[in-house]
Amino acid sequence: MGRFAPSPTGDLHLGSLYAAAASYLDARAHGGRWLIRLEDLDRPRERPGAAARILRTLEAFGFEWDGEVVRQSDRGPLYAAALDALRRAGRTFECSCSRLDLADAPRYPGSCRSGPLRRGRPTAVRLRVEPGIVRFTDRIQGPGARDVAATAGDLVIRRRDGIVSYLLAVVVDDAAQGVTDVVRGADLIEHTPAQRHLQELLGLPAPRYAHVPVLTEPDGAKLAKSARSLALDAREPQGPLLRALDLLGLPVGEQPLPAGLPEIWDWAIRRWDPERVPKRPALPVRG
Ligand code: GLU
């Protein structure tokens, strides 16, 4: 079972189509189900109308998802239960540090481990992360290992504004929804060790991970200033879809290529081979 989990903070562009297509092809090629989860917990960053536009665009591009679209904003009790379990196990502490307090720290220095330093301030909940190497194998990028305590330190699992953090929500949801294969952009690979660590603490099964490269401008900069970064046009799905499939290593030069969208998807599902996805964290695109 796979999933695509967009945050409604903007419209889909070629880079998001690329990650969504990889996850979709991977699930369907294994005869698996594929879910959509709107990661809409960060209300302050949400753009009005983006969630509806994302779903319309995915539909126009021929994605067919299983079941109802899940919204994280409807799942507060699930996250609260996970927070509670960690709290009861003595794995958390309240932290009063602001972003400014920590601006110069390469990682969280443990300031509030024995109680919030500044009384009367709103607090975040942090996970007490003990030293130790977390290992995982990525199906595309290869083996990874990270000492979360040494690199990030104690992780925020509920923010000072009360919002449950992405890290916790994603881990709880992937397990609750039975996701076995996480296929997503390599910009998220840095969060994978922390997610593996949380899964272990919560006694949740670990999904397999495959991180596809992040598409960039030809000079390596974030997709930003060209047609490549524009919101996908739902009226013209075929060009960008074939582009994304080509960048995923599918033989789109093959002739004759099928004509309609459903036929293109069938063709691509039959040919999906994660071995052909470029094994690199970033992939510059031209044109
Ligand atoms: N919602 C996250 C994002 O849009 C993706 C979460 C995930 O795939 O784990 O960046």
pLDDT average, residue stretch 215-233 = 80
Would you place residue 266 in the very low, low, confident or very high pLDDT band (cuts 50, 70, 90)?
very high
273 found inside a domain:
yes
13 found inside a domain:
yes
* CA nearest to 97, candidates 88, 87, 105, 89: 105
The Å distance, Cα 5 to ligand 1 centre, comes to: 5
Residue 224 has pLDDT above 90, yes or no: no
Same domain for 90 and 43, yes or no, is no
* Cβ–Cβ < 8 Å for 28, 181: no
Same domain for 278 and 220, yes or no, is yes
* Cβ–Cβ < 8 Å for 6, 23: no
Same domain for 81 and 160, yes or no, is yes
Q: Which atom of ligand 1 is nearest to the CA of 174?
A: 9
200 found inside a domain:
no
* CA nearest to 252, candidates 274, 233, 267: 267
Encoded amino acid at 254, one letter: E
Same domain for 20 and 97, yes or no, is no
Residue 226 has pLDDT above 90, yes or no: no
Point out which residues pair with 36 in neighbouring strands. Answer: 4
Q: What does the pLDDT look like over 124-167, one tens digit per residue? A: 999 999 999 999 999 999 999 999 999 999 999 999 999 999 99
Could you tell me which residue, 219 or 77, shows the higher pLDDT?
A: 77
Would you place residue 175 in the very low, low, confident or very high pLDDT band (cuts 50, 70, 90)?
very high
- What is d(CA 184, CA 64) in angstroms, rounded to the nearest whole number? 18
Both tokens of residue 242? 């074939």
Strands 34-38 and 2-4: parallel
Report DSSP state, residue 112: T
* Cβ–Cβ < 8 Å for 7, 42: yes
Mean pLDDT over the full length of the chain: 95
pLDDT of residue 225: 59
Count of domains forming the chain? 2
Same domain for 16 and 62, yes or no, is yes
Q: Please, what is the angle between helix 261-271 and helix 238-247, to 10°?
A: 10
Same domain for 164 and 224, yes or no, is no
153 found inside a domain:
yes
pLDDT average, residue stretch 213-224 = 87
182 found inside a domain:
no
Expressed in percent and rounded to 5, the helix, strand and coil fractions of the chain are: 35, 20, 45
Same domain for 84 and 60, yes or no, is no
- What is d(CA 30, CA 25) in angstroms, rounded to the nearest whole number? 8
Same domain for 111 and 69, yes or no, is no
202 found inside a domain:
no
80 found inside a domain:
yes
pLDDT of residue 137: 94
The residue to which tokens 């094994």 are assigned = 279
243 found inside a domain:
yes
Q: What does the pLDDT look like over 94-120, one tens digit per residue? A: 999 999 999 999 999 999 999 999 999
The Å distance, Cα 37 to ligand 1 centre, comes to: 9
Same domain for 111 and 39, yes or no, is no
Q: Percentage of the chain surpassing pLDDT 70? A: 98
Structural domain for 125, as ranges:
76-168
Both tokens of residue 112? 């509030």
Write the CATH number for 117.
3.40.50.620
Same domain for 13 and 64, yes or no, is yes
Among 113, 148, 168, give the residue marking a domain's end: 168
The Å distance, Cα 208 to ligand 1 centre, comes to: 15
* Catalytic one of 88, 119, 225, 286: 225
Same domain for 118 and 157, yes or no, is yes
pLDDT of residue 220: 86
Instruction: Decide if 225 is catalytic.
Output: yes
* Cβ–Cβ < 8 Å for 113, 155: no
pLDDT of residue 93: 98
Give the best-scoring range by mean pLDDT among 170-179, 218-227, 250-259. Answer: 170-179
Residue 228 has pLDDT above 70, yes or no: no
Residue 219 has pLDDT above 90, yes or no: no
* Cβ–Cβ < 8 Å for 23, 56: no
Same domain for 82 and 154, yes or no, is yes
- What is d(CA 228, CA 60) in angstroms, rounded to the nearest whole number? 18
Q: Which of 36, 165, 184, 222 to mutate to test the pocket of ligand 1 (most atoms within 8 A of CB)?
A: 184
